[in-house]
Structure 1
Amino acid sequence: MKRKITIITILAITALISIFSLSYYFSKTNLFKEKSKDVDKSTFSSGLELSEDTSIVTKSKDDKTGEYTNYKAMKYKDFIKQFNYTGKADRESLEKFMTEKNYKLESKSDKELIFIKSSEKALLKNKFYLGVTEEGYICIYKCNDEGKLFIEDKKQDISKRKIDDLQDYEKNKVKNHEFMFNTKEEALDALSEYDS
């Protein structure tokens, strides 16, 4: 009889130890999985993944004045629609996509990426652009072989009208050199419209 009680006691203790060990193992495994999910959610900090709420900021920089224009801040989910982005939801893919659109990553944080478009990067050599002088007058720039803008004839290529006289929409287009011309004559015709 004592032997039966001893065997039952040993089996009960073994069963309790087994149950405790198994429950400990499964709880630790599940806890580890939950922690790794949390790590996956925050992988943006290591630059791997973007969430829908990640803020994407785009702005243009006037290389002559250093001023920023066309500032836009949007959530990643809105950025996808606005820029027709179909790439992976990671920083590296997004950076590559924006580089193709002449944007450069200026800064990054856990919740925000800021991209800047330099006004000179998108300019084509030997083309003419409307722009703004340092004094604020509308003018014609020519783009040289190195992608730098210069005024060929200061008497003929600078308007008497200031950029501040324009509406914001057109003002930004001129500042960002969005009016491009193949010939000097076309550019002069466009410039003369501002003087009339």
Structure 2
Amino acid sequence: MSMLTPPGMGGKYRITGDKYPRMRRPRSLGRIAVAAVAALVVLGLGGWGTLQLIDVFGGDDEKTAAGAQKGDCRPAAAASAAPPPPKPSQITVNVYNATPRSGLAKSAADELKKRGFAIGKVGNAPAAYDKKVEGAGVLLGSPKSHEGAFAVLTTQVRGAQLKTDARKTADVDLILGTAFKDFETKRQADAALAVLAKPVPAPTGKC
């Protein structure tokens, strides 16, 4: 008789063998709650990571589009850049001497001619300017001269005053004043011309 068989019982009620059913402990509600919270945390982290990836790979395009709408500091397109300044050979300069120094207009005209400028009239300054220009000189031309001729000539003579008149022609007057000593050196003038020929485009938006 097996030790599991109660006394007085036998036959079909007899329990044989050494195995018996094991009773499971009831699951703890606390463990179930912890597992549920952990699952929610994992799902939350997964969703946050997905949003981060979307921001990394798709955010640049959105920011670029927003920048394009609001305007940024990118250089303007080459098509919208200002036209290049005229070459010295395209500028006709009339050289006038407003100082007491004799021969100044001719020597200045000869130097400008060596530097590639076209020379027009050479002589003493008109009465309105003769002995009345205290600075290095005056550049006098039509309003359109500001678009190129003045900028090119100021690379040669520093400190010249810019003035316009009612002329319709493209020539420019260089009236030499009492403070004029000499032109900029050829090397300095050529370097300034090189910078002038390659201006930096203006930004397309506000910085």
TM over 0.5: no
Q: Which structure has more strand as a fraction of its residues? A: 1
Structure number with greater CO (CA < 8 Å, separation at least 6) is 2
Give me the TM-score of the superposition, normalised by structure 1.
Answer: 0.32
